[in-house]
Amino acid sequence: MSSEYESMWRGLGLNLEAHDALLGVLGKGYTDIYLAQKDRPEGMGYFDFVMSEVHGLRIKELVDEKEQGRKIIGSYCVFVPEEIALATNATLVGLCSGADFALEEVEKYLPRNTCALIKSAFGFKLGQVCPYLETADMVVGENTCDGKKKAYESLGTLMDNLYVMDLPQMKSGQGRDLLRSEYDRFKLAVEALTGVVITPESLKQAIGIVNAKRSALHRLAKLRSADPVVISGLDGLLANQVSFYDNPKRFTESVHKICDELEKRIQTDQKIFPVKTPRILISGCPMAVPNWKLPWIIETSGAVIVGEESCVGERGYRNLTRDTGTTVDELMDAITDRYFDVDCAIFTPNQDRLDHIQEMTKAYQADGVIHYGLQFCQPYTMEAICVENALEKKDIPCLRIETDYGMEDVGQLKTRIEAFIEQLK
Ligand code: BJ8
């Protein structure tokens, strides 16, 4: 893909040498992890294509959209409502942060004991290797964990288009009021950026597009609960990852196509993993592209992943937004209600998440839960202990993992995961 898009990347200010190196690693990882799988649904061909063009065709589409006057908004968190962006005819893209880059440079801005996700966001900016970031007219940061909150102060010195959204930490009346007022402030900022004033019709239409995308993901999630499984966890995760930067309507159609195929697999009792393969639910920090390390270890150690309790997973798409309102005010309320239910570990207390993990374990017929915490992530690694205790009470086996984006601990993780899988058998 390099030569074809070189001038576009240069125009975006990318460091071509570093970018080539990143694409090389990404391509190899994808080949070794994804393309090495057997019996993948044919519909995954679409996602293979999307991944092969992740910095090519999709970026070209965004650049073309910009030329036609459309604005691009980048986001690091599922609390940034895509509905508001779409209602102004802007495009929202997730900024992945799933790989280490330019670590030495990053540590001039952040302490070493910062989680890999935050470091990655800085690495992609400092290394000038992310075309999504460089295409964005506005980058939205959010006050979630302390790490992100403080990191945005420094990130703001590296870009002139960072917008920071405040977020509540408690599910109280005041918390909801804060979220609503922050969404109102965001709406005004997006209207100012795009020059488009949101109407009930445009907001309703945007809610419909995002609800359709989330409904498609619900359908896929439900099919993953089948026993025997009809799609690998790696492929299920990939669909979730792609949902953050693909065109939403095209993505929705592609997911439905896969679901049609999976339904046929269920009808014909097609098996892609041996009968009685232990079923795992992953829970914890989000896994952004190309963070496939843990699922890859799990699925090459004799288990299959049936669901992700994660923002790149069910926590991100779980609820739909009410579309019954007739005024912008009512629809903004519906959006606030929908996002206020997201049970990220930055909230305290966070019983909803503990309950949801148990519900998911049951719904997906999981034999055990692997809790994935990024090293130095206080919200998730602390909450992991509560998760484990809650699961223990229900006799659901749980393994707590703390790791980063490096490959040094693969052997050690594999040993622990294999022992856990043996226990499940
Ligand atoms: S809604 S999970 S996407 S904040 S891993 S940066 S929490 S120290 S990512 Fe997240 Fe929004 Fe919550 Fe979801 Fe901090 Fe932890 Fe790092 Fe994290």
268-304: pLDDT as tens digits:
999 899 999 999 999 999 999 999 999 999 999 999 9
Q: Which residues pair with 55 in a beta bridge?
A: none
| Spatial CA neighbour of 128 closest among 64, 55, 51 | 55
How much distance in Å is there from the Cα of 344 to the middle of ligand 1? 7
- For 294, residues 6+ apart whose C-beta sits below 8 A from its C-beta are 282, 287, 370, 372, 401, 403, 413
How much distance in Å is there from the Cα of 243 to the middle of ligand 1? 18
Mean local confidence (pLDDT), 40-49: 97
CB 140 within 8 A of CB 165: yes
How much distance in Å is there from the Cα of 312 to the middle of ligand 1? 11
Closest ligand 1 atom to 380 CA: 15
pTM: predicted TM-score of the whole model, two decimal places? 0.97
Looking at ligand 1, which residue's alpha carbon is closest to its atom 10? Answer: 77
- For 91, residues 6+ apart whose C-beta sits below 8 A from its C-beta are 62, 65, 70, 71, 72, 73, 85
Looking at ligand 1, which residue's alpha carbon is closest to its atom 13? Answer: 311
Q: Which domains does the chain have, with CATH numbers?
A: 2-174 (3.40.50.11890), 204-320+344-424 (3.40.50.11900)
- Ligand 1 lining (C-beta closer than 6 Å): 77-79, 115, 117-118, 144-145, 147-148, 285-286, 311, 342, 344, 346, 374, 377, 379-380
Instruction: Indicate the top mutation candidate among 179, 309, 380 to test ligand 1's pocket, ranked by most ligand atoms within 8 A of CB.
Output: 380
CB 379 within 8 A of CB 145: yes
CB 161 within 8 A of CB 138: yes
Looking at ligand 1, which residue's alpha carbon is closest to its atom 12? Answer: 344
| Cα 257 to Cα 8: distance, rounded to the nearest angstrom | 32
- Number of Cβ within a 10 Å radius of residue 191: 16
How does pLDDT run across 356-368, given as a tens digit for each residue?
999 999 999 999 9
CB 123 within 8 A of CB 103: yes
Is the pLDDT at 2 greater than 60? The verdict is no
Looking at ligand 1, which residue's alpha carbon is closest to its atom 7? Answer: 145
In this prediction, residue 165 has a pLDDT band, given cuts at 50, 70 and 90, of very high
How does pLDDT run across 299-325, given as a tens digit for each residue?
999 999 999 999 999 999 999 999 999
Looking at ligand 1, which residue's alpha carbon is closest to its atom 2? Answer: 344
User: What integer pLDDT is reported at residue 4 of this predicted model?
Assistant: 87
- Number of Cβ within a 10 Å radius of residue 60: 15
Q: What are the start-end ranges of the E strands in 275-317? A: 279-284, 304-309
8-42 burial code (b ≥16 CB/10 A, e <16)? bbeebebbeeebeebbeebeebbeebbeebeebbe
How does pLDDT run across 50-76, given as a tens digit for each residue?
999 999 999 999 999 999 999 999 999
Percent over 70 (pLDDT), the chain: 100
How much distance in Å is there from the Cα of 378 to the middle of ligand 1? 10
Sign of CA dihedral 12, 14, 17, 18: negative
Closest ligand 1 atom to 76 CA: 3
User: What integer pLDDT is reported at residue 193 of this predicted model?
Assistant: 98
| Cα 16 to Cα 87: distance, rounded to the nearest angstrom | 34
CB 308 within 8 A of CB 235: no
How much distance in Å is there from the Cα of 233 to the middle of ligand 1? 21
Structure tokens at 10: 């240069």
How does pLDDT run across 231-240, given as a tens digit for each residue?
999 999 999 9
User: What integer pLDDT is reported at residue 271 of this predicted model?
Assistant: 87
- Which amino acid would we find at residue 256? H
Instruction: Indicate the top mutation candidate among 114, 317, 357, 374 to test ligand 1's pocket, ranked by most ligand atoms within 8 A of CB.
Output: 374
Looking at ligand 1, which residue's alpha carbon is closest to its atom 11? Answer: 77
User: What integer pLDDT is reported at residue 3 of this predicted model?
Assistant: 72
- Which amino acid would we find at residue 330? E
| Cα 116 to Cα 373: distance, rounded to the nearest angstrom | 11
CB 304 within 8 A of CB 232: yes
User: What integer pLDDT is reported at residue 96 of this predicted model?
Assistant: 83
How much distance in Å is there from the Cα of 258 to the middle of ligand 1? 29
